[in-house]
Amino acid sequence: MKPNSPAPNFTLTSANGEQITLSEVLKSGNVLLVFLRHLG
């Protein structure tokens, strides 16, 4: 993925067990994606 390129659509499970799809969230406005690496 190059900087400033659109992210591919994906679906993840929230902490509440809800399915969240990027394309659905984008309908409400911009999205900031943050990737954290577990260091444990």
pLDDT at 26 over 80: yes
What pLDDT is stored for residue 10 in this prediction?
95
Both tokens assigned to 13? 């499970």
CA 13 to chain centre: 10
Gap between the Cα atoms of 24 and 10, Å rounded: 10
pTM flag (> 0.75): no
Gap between the Cα atoms of 13 and 20, Å rounded: 6
Give the residue extent of every domain in the chain. 1-40
Q: What is the mean pLDDT of residues 24-35?
A: 91
The strand pair at 19-21 and 11-13 is best described as: antiparallel
